Amino acid sequence: MKDSGTMDRSSLDSLISMPLFAALPAAALDQVMSQSFIQYQPTEAILFEQGQSAQFLHVILAGRVALVGSSTNPHHSDHPADHNETEQATATDREAIIEIFGTGDVVTIAAVLLNLPYMMSARVIAPTRIAYIPAAVIRYCLDNDAGFARETALMLARHWRLLSRQLKDQKLRSGTQRLGAYLLTLSDGRTSGRAEIEMPMDRRTLASWLGMSAENLSRALAQLKPVGVQVSGRHAQIDEIARIRAFCLEDDLR
């Protein structure tokens, strides 16, 4: 752990600008502020690993974090003892990015609320400023503040939609179609016309998120060229959004 610090004024401002914490009464906010701390984490940092118990709610004040599921689990760990960051996994290291959180998002509130171990690991993929709020504080807020509970439910509802949409994509669209659909999400939801797009992550990460190999992502990009997509580096240009939408069988259901 590095660059640790208590919560300052500007971080608190960032917090209360989020709907989740906006309506929290002063007393609860004091609780949060006094027991939480701030960390700056560089790319590749691990916030927590799959299997650990949920100690903190991680609020991303700035940056980007990926939730990563891996299929190799440490050999037969009977009780949830606290292994630390020095552990290295076994040979086959297959892993997949399940979700990507950005500024203003909150990472795995589910595990925190349910007081269960994390089902996945969290890895920083762009330099990040994070507020660590103790799980107990969050659960206290859930139990004692109706507004917080309400906002939590709404946030989880939105995330449920994101996940089920992704699951739908995964089950009945090809890799190339998923890529197209992803590009469309970067086009601000417009349904026709030209679009200039900046992809916010490297190919390997994007491939893992879309559920395909990096090599195949390359080929998928090539396959989109005839549909009117020019790519160079992280920049992409879509000639006609409607064409890509048709190609991906995209619906309007957000």
Partner DNA sequence: CGGTTGTTTGAGGACGTTCAAGTACTGTGG
Partner DNA sequence: CCACAGTACTTGAACGTCCTCAAACAACCG
Instruction: Identify what 95 binds: DNA, a copy of itself, none; CB under 5 to 8 Å per kind.
Output: a copy of itself
Instruction: Identify what 214 binds: a copy of itself, DNA, none; CB under 5 to 8 Å per kind.
Output: DNA
Sign of the alpha-carbon torsion through 188, 191, 193, 195: positive
- Listed in order, strand segments (DSSP E) in the chain are 5-6, 37-41, 46-48, 56-70, 95-102, 106-107, 121-134, 195-198, 229-232, 235-238
Can you tell me which of 114, 153, 167, 222 binds DNA, judged by CB under 7 A? 222
238 binds DNA (CB under 7 A): no
55 binds a copy of itself (CB under 8 A): no
Can you tell me which of 44, 82, 85, 143 binds a copy of itself, judged by CB under 8 A? 143
How many Å apart are CA 171 and CA 182, to the nearest integer? 15
Q: Check if the beta carbon of residue 32 is closer than 8 Å to that of residue 43.
A: no
84 binds a copy of itself (CB under 8 A): no
- Listed in order, strand segments (DSSP E) in 162-211 are 195-198
Identify which of residues 6 and 170 has a Cβ nearer to a copy of itself in the complex. Answer: 170
Q: Looking at residues 73 to 112 of the shown chain, list those that interact with DNA (rule: CB under 7 A).
A: 92, 94
Instruction: Identify what 213 binds: a copy of itself, DNA, none; CB under 5 to 8 Å per kind.
Output: DNA
- AA letter at 209: W
Can you tell me which of 108, 121, 176, 187 binds DNA, judged by CB under 7 A? 176
Q: Check if the beta carbon of residue 33 is closer than 8 Å to that of residue 134.
A: no
Instruction: Identify what 175 binds: DNA, a copy of itself, none; CB under 5 to 8 Å per kind.
Output: DNA
Nearest-5° angle of CA 20, CA 61, CA 56? 70
153 binds DNA (CB under 7 A): no
Identify which of residues 81 and 253 has a Cβ nearer to a copy of itself in the complex. Answer: 253
Instruction: Identify what 215 binds: DNA, a copy of itself, none; CB under 5 to 8 Å per kind.
Output: DNA
Nearest to 248 by CA among 195, 169, 194: 169
218 binds DNA (CB under 7 A): yes
Q: Which residues contact 73 (CB under 8 A, 6 or more apart)?
A: 50, 51
Binding site for DNA (CB under 7 A): 92, 94, 174-176, 202-204, 211-222, 231-233
